[in-house]
Structure 1
């Protein structure tokens, strides 16, 4: 019987060690996850606040850029309209210039100068 008791003692010591190790692992894991969860919630809240701030600034920037794009588009439209008007006047003047004939005499030269507001000298 004495030998059997000696065999049991190391078995109990090994079981106790295993139980202590298991308890330590459970406590460490529980502490890690419990601490992690509490910190994670704070981090999540901070991230959400930062994300909301970033989103707000981004949306404001997008609105400002859209406003500037619309303003530039309006200026471009007005500029193109003005260009078409000027180009049309130039084309009509070119057509008029193509129909002008050389004056045939001094009296016609004088009449043309007078129609332009110049008084010819005799």
Structure 2
């Protein structure tokens, strides 16, 4: 008898970004250190699905440097197939997040206009 649930690969296509946030919910001008994380809507969905046992793959561009290597390593740690990730000579997109505290709302600023995903081309 065949398994009624056949696992198919779920492919996500979207930008992978590096998030930089001041430690301890500080505002950017108060910060001396920053924490960083890799994510992006599609990558986050792929990571969640991989956590639940689904086979996932990310299609994207990352920078051809140590930042891009770290982004790929993060995807692998989440169980995402990175065989369709391209390395290009454009920087990885960034965003800065000041996490809100109490009544202070979170603030976000994107730096991705000329980033690696903005320069993706069909293969």
Name the TM-score, length of structure 1 as normaliser.
Answer: 0.15
Structure number with the higher helix fraction is 1
> Looking at both structures, which has the greater relative contact order when contacts are Cα pairs under 8 Å and sequence separation is at least 6?
2
Structure number with the higher strand fraction is 2
Name the TM-score, length of structure 2 as normaliser.
Answer: 0.15
* Larger gyration radius, structure 1 or structure 2: 1
